Structure 1
Amino acid sequence: MNLSQEEEENNLSLSKFESMLKTNKVLFFDSEEFENIILHYLDIGKNNLAKKALKLALEQHPKSTGLKLVQIEMLVYEDKLEIAERMLNELYAIEPTNEEIYIQKANIYSKRDDHEKAVKLLQTALEYTDDYADVYSLIGMEYLFMDNLELAKENFIKCLEEEYDDYSALYNVVYCYDFLDQNQEAIVFLNDFIDKNPFSEVAWHQLGRQYYTLKDYENALRAFDYATVIDDEFLGAYLEKAKSLERLKRYEEAIESYNMTIELDDPTSFALLRIGKCYERLGNKPLALKYYHKTVHEDPLLDKGWVAITDFYIRQKNYQKAIYYINKALGIENENKLYWKRYATINQALNFFEEAEVGFRKAVEFGDTELDTWLYWTDVLQFLGEFEGAIQTLLQASEFYTDSHEIEYRLAGLNFMVTEETKGRFHLTNALRLSFENHTLIESLFPVIWEDKKIQDYIEKQRKP
């Protein structure tokens, strides 16, 4: 029986069963029909219908091993493990060579987190089964649960050797390679797989992903191209192809590929955002801005869309508009250090120093430890006359940057400003030792201190001949 005939018969059985439920007439089904009906309802999540079908099935075929195994599968799913185990032991006494008994026993042990025992049972099932691919896949999953990625990978590969078009197993093999950081090994495996199965668009797509991870964008593009040739509606491959073209600075072609994803499915905010980025890199600012606005229209909660518009206006030095859009992004993602830093620098450019200080403080609070963030923050604090706060902030920064002349010159100047002469001289000595040529920082940041002849004399004394 070919696949279409089998599907047709299954559909007829389902129609007949659903008709029976509506009319309350009891019709006869053979046990295999019932199994397919029950499994169909389980697959689509209609558990109540599956239970109804199982009840009728067991009334008509009380001795059917197949139906009892389906019942056991449902019991395991509902975590009724002890009842399921009792029933399995009864079936084992009758049919000790039925591989499904071992598979269901393995399922029970897996639920109890005894994955090693589950593997042993599945290895026994291999002795009796005709469906090696399914059992190898189950063994692979048990090894994944045990975090044994090498053995998981080995079993998923065996599954593929039995059933090359099992895409779930192929994805799992690649997942193992990715987790183990074995990108080169994954490429060797996928190339070998493609040699045997050249029309596997999934394999070509996964090969492209490996090349992309290794920043080999030319080979990534070639692989994604093949995937789209084999399946001209492979949305994921068009998306990855577009990303590769972007990396290769082939922006017009990238736009074409992103547009293909929009033609194949509803527009995604990601594709619209990337099209906007491509247009901006091509120098087409009106179209770039148009697509950024399309992005936030498509998904108003996508903070990256609002940030793209923010950055667009920062580059145009239109800070009034930039502050509006960065506030939109912060309204969505309030703990993003990079957004707070943008907020701070925009406010600084607008001479809103109190707001800028809040932004830099928040950026650091949420994990920004970049040197320039500390320096901008303390420069703003200094401008606001908060010298003690600036000193404390710089001391905190010096824990991350122990030999920074930028920090030491600022600590020197600030300590002199609050008449802490000894501390000021200590930090000035450190700063001059770290970078004498940058002593002009005192002049630019602390002109009042620079005018003090004692300071200039001290600096001159430190000059190396």
Structure 2
Amino acid sequence: MNRDRDLPPFEDDSDDLKDLLQQFENLKSGLSHAFLDEDSFEQIIDYYDEQDQLNVAFQAAEMGINQYPYSAVLLIKKAGLLIEAKQYKEALSLLEKAALLDSTDLQLYIFKTDAYIAMNQHAKAVRVLEEQIDSFEGEDKTELLLELADVYDDWEEFEMVFDVLRRALVHDNNNEEALHKICFWTEFTGRFEESIRLHTDIINEHPFNELAWFNLGTAFQGLKLYEKAIDAYQYAIAIDEKFDYAYRNMGDAYIRMRKYPEAIEVLSRHLEIAKPEDVIYEAIGHCYDKQRKYTQARYYYRKASHLSPTDDKLYYKVAMAYMAEENWANALKSLQSAMKYNKQSGDYNMAIGECYLQMGKFKDALVYLLNAVRLRPANARGWQCFMRGLYISGFHEEALGQLNALDPKISSKPVFQYYKAAILFRLGRQKEALLQLETALQRSPKLAKQFVELDAELLQHTSVVDMLGRYRASLRKKK
């Protein structure tokens, strides 16, 4: 993990650093009796480590330790280099020596933790940290708690990650890193009620902490308490009007509540203050879609696709918006764009089949509808679209044969019984058709509209109208 290895205090091109490095080179070559103090060795080690010149950094560490054998800092620096070189046991041995000289150096325990994790000995890493956490105060204690959370994350003990982050925030309830992390882990572990209590306590002490308000909002949102979530996000935004994630989450909450104009408003604000993102444009498009404002929906879906040109789902959404307006030709163009990136989508094949069907191109329609059922043979919706395509195209015998050959798990669904009744009517087998229709009505009278939508001309049969009327009357009585 090597959380915060000290960085050299000089810029790479500074004269001071150049002089220091030259002195080190002279010392290595035996050309000078220049004296380098302990701090200088630290800076030299850090410099070469940052430059990925591990061998030279090792040399500097060795020379420094030879000159300052009781320097815990230099021993710890060398241990860090050994960890980078995957010499974990040697590093731990060196850290034990350093601990005898100075047990108060935070980096000592972080490096021990790194070594144990690298050796897949997470329990030992936890023990090292737990034994030392209460020995430190302030930021150092927070640092060790955050390190402990990382250990549990690496160990995949995810509930413990949440527990330790909560400990960190009880100790230091204004810590940004802990606040950022616990937001994710609250959602991951589903511990929303605990997060609400924790962040309510933080807000009571620090009412202008926008991250605490945001985390409170996400916890409410996790419990589907969208109005309370929105209230919390609004407080976060009142404190920091450019808090883009608060606008994003608030937009999602409004969408969940089906308050689409409000969602559009806050998501548009997000676009004003943050870098444009495809997901934001897509969400705004979705809001217009739900309001049946298809021109605006397509505009935002296209904006999203400009940022993510290989996202086939965006072309599909544009197509759906065209299909809602029965603009089959333009829908087909968008679907063909989607198919360039995903030919194996049953949904795209079904939608193309529907467009061709509506355009009267029955042969093309059946090719795509058949593709859809081949791609997803256990999908009832795909078979329904294919049967409908065969029926509209006039292939009634073929449709009946396909229905009879279908897996019973699919063909036994009421919608297929309605379809079978319609097919039998078209084939002149009226008695069988009426029996089939009655069975379907007994099982699911609400799906009778599927029968009528398939072929409204069937209502010309008096017997059909009478049967449908009887079942509608019985449904009204039940209500």
Question: 2:120 corresponds to which letter in structure 1?
Answer: D
Identity, % of aligned positions: 22
What is the match of residue 194 of structure 1? 203
CA distance in 2, matches of 1:185, 1:56: 50
TM-score normalized by the length of structure 1: 0.75
Q: Deviations over 1:283-324 (max 9, x none)?
A: 766554443433333332233432332122112211100010
What is the match of residue 374 of structure 1? 383
What is the match of residue 265 of structure 1? 274
CA distance in 2, matches of 1:372, 1:78: 57
What does 1:91-106 correspond to in 2, within 5 Å? Answer: 91-92=98-99, 100-106=107-113
Quote how far apart the aligned CAs of 1:356 are. Answer: 3.4
CA distance in 1, matches of 2:111, 2:446: 76
* Alignment pair present for 1:312 and 2:316: no
* Alignment pair present for 1:244 and 2:253: yes
Quote how far apart the aligned CAs of 1:47 are. Answer: 4.8
CA distance in 2, matches of 1:38, 1:166: 31
What does 1:125-204 correspond to in 2, within 5 Å? Answer: 125-126=132-133, 128-130=135-137, 131-204=140-213
Quote how far apart the aligned CAs of 1:205 are. Answer: 1.8
What is the match of residue 88 of structure 2? 81
Quote how far apart the aligned CAs of 1:73 are. Answer: 2.5
CA distance in 1, matches of 2:355, 2:310: 22
* Alignment pair present for 1:48 and 2:84: no
| Paired residues, number | 450
CA distance in 1, matches of 2:15, 2:313: 52
Change (3 A) 1:39 1:405: same
CA distance in 2, matches of 1:413, 1:155: 64
Q: Which residue of 99, 118, 134 corresponds with 2:125?
A: 118
What is the match of residue 3 of structure 1? none
Q: Deviations over 1:316-343 (max 9, x none)?
A: 2111000100111222234444333333
What is the match of residue 4 of structure 1? none
Quote how far apart the aligned CAs of 1:445 are. Answer: 7.2
Instruction: Give 5+ residue unaligned stretches, structure 1.
Output: 1-6
2:72–2:101 Cα contact (<8 Å) kept = no
CA distance in 2, matches of 1:318, 1:132: 64
Quote how far apart the aligned CAs of 1:80 are. Answer: 2.9
Change (3 A) 1:8 1:385: closer
2:294–2:322 Cα contact (<8 Å) kept = no
Cα root mean square deviation, aligned: 4.8
1:31–1:61 Cα contact (<8 Å) kept = no
Give the secondary-structure state (helix, strand or coil) at the position aligned to 2:185: helix
Question: 2:121 corresponds to which letter in structure 1?
Answer: D
1:378–1:394 Cα contact (<8 Å) kept = no
What is the match of residue 323 of structure 1? 332
What is the match of residue 10 of structure 1? 9
CA distance in 2, matches of 1:232, 1:40: 41
Give the secondary-structure state (helix, strand or coil) at the position aligned to 1:48: coil
CA distance in 2, matches of 1:21, 1:117: 39
1:38–1:54 Cα contact (<8 Å) kept = yes
Give the secondary-structure state (helix, strand or coil) at the position aligned to 1:301: coil
What is the match of residue 399 of structure 1? 409
Quote how far apart the aligned CAs of 1:264 are. Answer: 2.8
Instruction: Give 5+ residue unaligned stretches, structure 2.
Output: 1-5, 26-33, 472-479
Quote how far apart the aligned CAs of 1:430 are. Answer: 6.1
1:10–1:33 Cα contact (<8 Å) kept = no
What is the match of residue 477 of structure 2? none
What is the match of residue 395 of structure 2? 385
Q: Deviations over 1:394-426 (max 9, x none)?
A: 654532574x23324545777999999xx9999
What is the match of residue 77 of structure 2? 70
Change (3 A) 1:425 1:49: same
Question: 1:398 corresponds to which letter in structure 2?
Answer: P
Quote how far apart the aligned CAs of 1:160 are. Answer: 1.8
Q: Which segment drifts farther, 436-445 or 386-395?
A: 436-445
CA distance in 1, matches of 2:344, 2:146: 41
Change (3 A) 1:20 1:280: farther
Give the secondary-structure state (helix, strand or coil) at the position aligned to 1:399: helix
Q: Which segment drifts farther, 218-227 or 47-56?
A: 47-56
CA distance in 2, matches of 1:14, 1:267: 37
Give the secondary-structure state (helix, strand or coil) at the position aligned to 1:158: helix
